[in-house]
Amino acid sequence: MALVVYQAPSISRSNGVQALEQARLPYRVTCTVRGVLGVVAAARAGLGLAIFARSLIPDGLVELPVSAGLPDLGEIDLMLLTSSRPVSEPAEALTAAILASGQPTGTRAR
């Protein structure tokens, strides 16, 4: 199985490799990239499988069905941290966009 991965350290890379090793599925890293655009380009070019959050799968890529026989990668928690000081309008807009793109499970007061 060919994989497209981020450079280490990377949570998605670590979780993917660990899941494949635990399932004793053979793999090889065919492309290592620095950023999400590189992962998207390499996956679209057919260089290998890539790991994305289900809520953030880019256009032109699809989630593989359970019948593909790949191990479950589990879940990870992501936290968005902000300053206790008043934030700028662009920072507020970025925070709103990030929160709108995912499915937050909870918030903590600042």
- Number of neighbouring beta carbons within 10 Å of residue 6: 20
- Looking at the chain, the whole-number percentage of residues with pLDDT higher than 90 is 52
The residue extents of the domains of the chain are 2-68
Distance in angstroms (rounded) separating the CA atoms of residues 41 and 20? 23
Exposure class string for 50-83: b at 16+ Cβ within 10 A, else e: bbeeeeeeeeeeeeeeeeeebeeeeeeeeeeeee
Position 103 scores a pLDDT of: 59
- Indicate the CATH number for domain 2-68: 3.40.190.10
Backbone Cα Rg of the chain: 16
pTM of the complete model beyond 0.75: no
Kindly state the average pLDDT of the residues 13-38.
94
pLDDT tens readout for residues 75-95: 877 777 877 888 889 988 888
DSSP-assigned beta bridge partners for residue 33: 6
pLDDT of 106 strictly over 70 = no
